[in-house]
Chains A and B, each alone.
Chain A
Amino acid sequence: MFGLPKRLTILPLFLLGLLAANATAQDPPSEESINYFRTNCASCHTIGGGRLTGPDLKGLAERKDREWLVKFLLDPKATLDAGDPYGQKLLSDARGVYMPPVAGMNKELANKLLNLIDAESALEKSKFSGFQISERPLTDLDIATGKALFNGQKALQEGGPACISCHTLSGLSGLGGGLLGPDLSGAYSRLEGRKALGAWLSSPPSVVMQPLYTNSPLDSEEVLALVAYLKATAGTGELEAESTSLEFTLAGIALAAGLMVLFDILWRKRFRSVRRTLLAQR
């Protein structure tokens, strides 16, 4: 026993690991994968609750095989662009919105999530049957509140950063908003309305927004107000945004020229060449 090399002890451990991997395929969904689905997927997908931005995932296993689904989860955009008809259909259903790459995705996690989806699909009523947003009509007050929240004039309750720090909107006064995130002018129509937009806002899944809002999520009333505001400003296209940036550039040039003229006037008595001035006076 003492003479045996340690290497041999690795083999049984490896076999044990394989067993464990297999075991996950049959185990009930773990708490971890439930949380993951909630924060990353639920903003666009329901299980049995109908379409949001992305399709309803109930009965997913019947639509495509596991191998394709895993491949899709690992790189959604590449799979959609690969050109197979199902991918095309998905893209057109989502009105051209690609599924964003999912944070921390790997093969094992993909399998766990698909297991979870299968398990939830089998249930009569899944706990992911849909994000519930109030159906009450949106008022002018909502729009005003939404505007204040967007601009950061009113702080978000949980302390999340205001939208304007990264996003702009056409028709936003002053210098506009930040340019880190996309222009949100078309967000309402892109996400097909209230429910999907609300779901997105309740738990933003994008790589940049997720870490910011996981610990300081938006309150449901705030979500509603922002939806109202984005709806009110929707429809003003991105073409207008282009012209805004041209105006902005022109305004910058005009301001710089104005400042130069101002300095020239303020400093008009500055020293200039004495001899050339004499020659010019002649």
Chain B
Amino acid sequence: MDVRSQVSMVFHLDKCIGCHTCSVACKNVWTDREGTDYMWWNNVETKPGTGYPTRWEDQDAYKGGWVSDGKELSLRSTSKSKLVPNIFHNPAQPSMDDYYEPWTYRYEDLFNAPEGDDQPTAKPVSMVTGEYIDIEAGPNWDDDLGGSEIYAKNDINMEDLSPEQRQQMLSIERMAFFYLPRICNHCLNPACVASCPSGALYKRGEDGIVLVNQDVCRAWRSCIPACPYKKTYYNWSTGKSEKCILCFPRLESGQAPACMHSCVGRIRYLGNVLYDADRIAEMALLPDDQLVEAQREMILDPFDPKVIAAAKANGISDGIIQSAQKSPVYKFLKVWKIALPLHVEYRTFPMLFYVPPLLPVMSMTQGDVVKNDLDELFADIDKHRAPMAYLGKMFTGGNIGKLRYALRKQVAVRVWRRHVTVGDIDEIKARQALAEADTTPDEATAIYKLSALAGFEERFVVPPFQREMAIEMLEDPHEYRANAGFGSRTSPKRS
């Protein structure tokens, strides 16, 4: 057992209102420089939709992630034999058109325009070329199902739906959608790290954050096709790749990442979990529908004395272990089992989990009449607007059972709370609903509290980073005593 600590996240999709505050917070802090203007380390997509970059989930085109033949795991994008012929050009990269060409407006035209018959306008200019452009796409172009005839229709997760289901989803498209905020998943088995010919990408030992070393990166751009979530980006100005750093400078000083801190809907949770790194290789070979369970198995119980002993033997401090015991992620993922990884079939074991959205049907229009034709307030999940097959493709690798479990439990929590607060559902019925969803009144209350009432400290359990101790594992600080001082570091720029 090789116990390691990983900073992990849960996004509660039922709470996301799609306001993009997280994206803007991230952009302002990290990607407001030349060359990064098209990057959205945090972006919010509307589902069904094609996301950013367009149709990033289409791995036939983008060649992201791993494939397993049951014996061996291999990258879809590259291999030892493909690396050399493709070293100067990885074919499967999204073009700038697939991301979008970043633009601004010539605002000064509003003030400087000579007097004329028409109002002056601020024309859009490309932030890359500085030329006037026609805006054709943006990072959230299909927000709230805009242009759904093109975008939502081509959502790859709808592939397995029957024509009727698809028709149904599209015909009621204006009601059935949800938001999917995405950041780097800081995977346990990151394809970007595996693909890098320079060894510039690495997964930090103490917290599992995946980073690009800007001094080592040689712009081979292998990571860009390799990452199935398209969360590594090439900075065209510095000639280096960049990605979400999970705001590690903020984490190291005990703060939540900028996107999480600013989240209006409070959908984001952060905490560390302990996992067994020895089992990754074996687990990643399992069939798609077993991967959710496999990943859960790798996450270890931080209360188990054996795990604690193994963690300590591996140099994990008491503070980190205690933090793992308080982690909200552990509760959502292992205790309640209602958080699921996004596209686990890419076999990178993403460490960002999502509580799937319910999308219940409340009422329907029939002619001019709005009618609630449901027998009960909380209908069965199969009557919900998003088909199970659709959500299952996204969150469970096609394992509908795991998805039903997570959704049923959420419905049961609502039934129980309705009973407690409103009282129009009687106790027997409410308890029956809980039992059917494999939960108890206590657990339902705990889920309700962490979902709806949790404060800052409960949502963000930032582990004590102890950088001063972490650095001692790599080098002796006394050696550098009196060597470092005041000065500046040069930013990575092409000379």
- Chain A residues within 8 Å of B, Cβ to Cβ: 270-271, 273-276, 278-279, 281-282
Contact = CB atoms under 8 A, between A and B. Distances in A.
B91 A271 contact: yes
B276 interface: no
Given A271-B61, A273-B98, A278 B150 contact: yes
B137 A275 contact: yes
Interface string B212-249: 00000000000000000000000000000000000000
B410 interface: no
B150 A271 contact: no
Contacts of B150: 278-279, 282
Contacts of B91: 270-271
Q: Do most interface residues of chain A lie in helix, strand or loop, or is the interface mixed?
A: helix
Contact of A275 (B62, B92, B93, B97): B97
B53 A274 contact: yes
A270 B89 CA distance: 12
The 7 closest A-B pairs by CB, nearest first: A275-B54, A271-B92, A271-B91, A274-B54, A274-B98, A274-B55, A275-B98
A107 B45 CA distance: 92
B34 interface: no
10 contacts: A270-B91, A271-B63, A271-B91, A271-B93, A273-B98, A274-B55, A275-B55, A275-B97, A278-B150, A282-B149
Contacts of B54: 274-275, 278
Contacts of B154: 278, 281
A271 B98 CA distance: 12
Contacts of A273: 95, 97-98
Given A271-B61, A273-B98, A278 B93 contact: no
Nearest to B50: A278
Nearest to B96: A273
Interface of B: 50, 53-55, 58, 61-63, 91-95, 97-98, 137, 149-151, 154
**Residues of B contacting A: mostly:** loop
Contacts of A270: 91
Nearest to B90: A271
Contacts of A282: 149-150
Contacts of B93: 271
Contact of B94 (A274, A278, A281): A274
Contacts of B58: 274
A275 B58 CA distance: 12
Given A279-B150, A282-B149, A282-B150, A274 B137 contact: no
Contacts of B55: 274-275, 278
Given A271-B61, A282-B150, A276 B97 contact: yes
Given A274-B55, A278-B50, A278-B154, 13 more contacts: A270-B91, A271-B62, A271-B63, A271-B93, A273-B95, A274-B62, A274-B98, A275-B54, A275-B97, A275-B137, A278-B54, A278-B151, A282-B150
A276 B54 CA distance: 10
Nearest to B58: A274
Contacts of B94: 274
A271 B95 CA distance: 10
A270 to B, nearest CB: 6
Contacts of A275: 50, 53-55, 97-98, 137
A84 B61 CA distance: 80
Nearest to B94: A274
A271 B97 CA distance: 13
A279 B97 CA distance: 12
Contacts of B149: 282
Chain B CB count within 10 A is highest, among A274, A278, A281, A282, for A274
Contacts of B92: 271
Nearest to B61: A274
A274 B58 CA distance: 9
Contacts of B50: 275, 278
A271 B92 CA distance: 5
A273 B154 CA distance: 15
Contacts of A281: 154
